[in-house]
Structure 1
Amino acid sequence: MAKILIIEDEELMLKALEFRLKKDEHEVVVAKDGREALQKIQSDTYDLIITDIMLPFVSGLEIIGKVKQTPHLAHVPMIVLSAVGLENVILEAFDLGVDDFITKPFNLTELTIRVKKLLKK
């Protein structure tokens, strides 16, 4: 069982992700904005982090940068979710070190497959 942090400000999306990942027998921790996410990544460790790009207070890109600069988290795989299909944002996310990018809306089964793949590494 993996411990997964989900950072997502859309309530319905957050609930759907949380439900699906718990159903897949993962331990799920949620953050509803960037500020809450930064508190959680400073106080705990995770096996995988899933983050939205557009978040209140602190952006997903800033969170990626912070995670990748934090020694005990730098190795943690990250998946970015975003309705923003802007190529420069996607490229910046990969430059910062994310492992995967999924454009919203997406299929939860597809997310499950990508999560399993990253957790095997």
Structure 2
Amino acid sequence: MKNVKTLLIDSDEHSRYFLSYALKKSGIEYLVVLENGFNVLEKVKNQQFDLILTELMVSGIGGFELIKKIRSLSSYKDVPIIVVTTLVINNHIQKCFELGATDFIAKPFNLKDFIEKIKFYSNHS
């Protein structure tokens, strides 16, 4: 797998730790982790990422707005954005896809399935 530049945004410390672990198990070596949405736009404008994972409930900009703003940047038109969240409500799932999310993973998730999805998106980014 190529060295995929990955951005992870999650406000929960335990989730950040577990997701970082799972991403490394998936073969991700280059990982930037943010605990809120305050600096995300600055980060994505200054550095090109190949894969983005975000929780919906992040402090600052919030998950929905974050997806919308990242998708509005021409350099992120085709970058996979995966929502990984505990907020599993049908209209929220639909809204994520309408705003441009590539995939939606509900927490808690099966580690093996998560790794397979990350490998898929890493190879197709």
From 76, 79, 91, give the equivalent of 1:88: 91
The question of 1:8 aligning with 2:7 is answered no
From 103, 106, 109, give the equivalent of 1:106: 109
Greater CA drift, 78-87 or 15-24: 15-24
Q: Number of residues paired by the alignment? A: 121
Task: Decide whether aligned partners of structure 1 residues 82 and 24 sit closer, same or farther in structure 2, where only a CA change above 3 A counts.
Answer: closer
Greater CA drift, 101-110 or 58-67: 101-110
2 CA distance for matches of 1:24 and 1:85? 24
Q: Following superposition of structure 1 onto structure 2, how do residues 45-64 of structure 1 map, counting pairs within 5 Å? A: 45-64=48-67
- Structure 1 residue runs of 4+, over 3 Å off? none
Q: Is contact 2:10–2:58 with CA below 8 Å preserved after alignment? A: yes
Offset, 1:32: 0.4
2 CA distance for matches of 1:82 and 1:20? 15
1 CA distance for matches of 2:27 and 2:123? 15
Offset, 1:85: 1.1
1 CA distance for matches of 2:96 and 2:85? 11
SS at structure 1 position matched to 2:76: coil
Q: Percent identity?
A: 33
Offset, 1:50: 0.3
2 CA distance for matches of 1:73 and 1:103? 23
- Structure 1: state its 5+ residue gaps: none
- Structure 2: state its 5+ residue gaps: none
